[in-house]
């Protein structure tokens, strides 16, 4: 049974005093985060490939069991023809390779203009993907959500043992929250309004849940995810869940609450955050 939980980022100053001990410095954040959560959605690599020394620091700051689930760089996924960016893909993988067992599933977020007519590009790219790494794909163009095209996508992903990365934006429609109206409005403007299609391919599911900052309002949708994830795990699907929130300060609390809820139905190890007996001493210099 394989399930990991984390947030979209590992560094946020408003987590100090909640997720992180009071007095934590930015240089401590990844180390402290890795002691509390099991994975992170690695958005940082979407914007830039990290230098080698940064990769070494990430390795040294995290336990071997921690999972970086990196997003493929946008220079590969969003610029030029995807099938022509295979060499760049391999260069990126070589850069992060020193993370070893900390490399969780990668995910390819395709741009909104990447339609079904580009399916051959995706097939060529997936055929060249090294099988020692897991990959998951997120589509955004509306054409993919038509039944016949969705079936085509499922077959394509299965053929290449690729997982499905899905995003749940429904919580953004659960109403405003005093003090968070601007954050919710921004999230509604920037997150694609794609339908939730929770199908699984390659025995791998990545879930990006855009939570409502009012934890209670998520409960009905969490009930749904609790059942779905329990069934997936029973069927041998590896599930990696990432808790987003328009009010980023709330993401860790929502993640912790959902994990505890999931444990009511499914036998999972204690979340590392809950296993911490005492606050950790942070770096003074």
174-203 tens-digit pLDDT: 898 888 888 888 888 778 888 899 999 999
Distance CA 200, CA 158 (A): 9
Residues linked to residue 4 through DSSP beta bridges, in sequence order: 240
| pLDDT band of 284, cuts 50, 70, 90 | very low
CA contacts within 13 A on the Cβ side of 92: 26
Please say if the pLDDT value at position 277 is more than 70: no
Tell me, what's the pLDDT at 70?
Answer: 98
Please say if the pLDDT value at position 242 is more than 90: yes
* Phi, then psi, of 190 in degrees rounded to 5: -100, -25
Quick one: what percent of the chain has pLDDT higher than 70? Answer: 96
Short-list 66, 93, 94, CA closest to 5: 66
Using a 10 angstrom Cβ sphere, with 0-12 exposed, 13-18 middle and 19 or more buried, the burial of residue 278 is: exposed
Under 8 Å between Cβ of 205 and 164? yes
The predicted model gives 12-18 an average pLDDT of 94
Give all domains of the chain, ordered by start, each with its CATH number: 3-275 (3.20.20.410)
Tell me, what's the pLDDT at 285?
Answer: 38
Mean pLDDT, rounded, of the chain: 93
Distance CA 72, CA 45 (A): 7
Please say if the pLDDT value at position 257 is more than 90: yes
Is 82 or 285 the better-scoring residue by pLDDT? 82
């Amino acid at each position: 049974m394989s399930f990991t939980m984390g947030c979209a980022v590992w560094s946020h100053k408003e987590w100090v005093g909640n997720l992180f001990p009071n007095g934590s410095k930015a240089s401590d954040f990844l180390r402290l985060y890795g002691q509390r959560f099991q994975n992170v959605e690695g958005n940082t690599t979407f914007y830039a490939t990290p230098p080698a020394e940064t990769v070494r620091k990430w390795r040294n700051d995290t336990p071997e069991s921690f999972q970086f689930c990196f997003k493929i760089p946008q220079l590969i996924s969003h610029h030029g023809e995807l099938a022509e960016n295979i060499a760049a893909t391999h260069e990126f993988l070589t850069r992060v390779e020193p993370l070893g067992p900390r490399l969780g599933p990668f995910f390819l977020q395709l741009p909104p203009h990447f339609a079904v007519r580009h399916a051959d590009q995706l097939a060529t790219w997936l055929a060249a993907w090294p099988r020692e790494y897991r990959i998951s794909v997120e589509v955004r163009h509306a054409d993919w959500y038509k039944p016949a095209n969705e079936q085509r996508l499922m077959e394509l992903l299965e053929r290449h043992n690729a997982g499905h990365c899905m995003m749940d934006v429904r919580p953004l429609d659960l109403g405003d929250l005093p003090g968070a109206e601007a954050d919710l409005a921004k999230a509604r403007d920037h997150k694609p309004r794609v339908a939730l299609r929770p199908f699984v391919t390659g025995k791998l599911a990545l879930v990006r849940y855009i939570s409502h900052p009012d934890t209670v309002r998520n409960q009905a949708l969490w009930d749904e995810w609790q059942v779905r994830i329990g069934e997936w795990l029973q069927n041998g699907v590896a599930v990696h869940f990432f808790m987003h929130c328009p009010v980023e300060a709330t993401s860790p609390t929502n993640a912790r609450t959902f994990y505890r809820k999931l444990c009511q139905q499914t036998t999972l190890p204690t979340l590392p955050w809950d296993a911490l007996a005492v606050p950790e001493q942070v770096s003074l210099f």
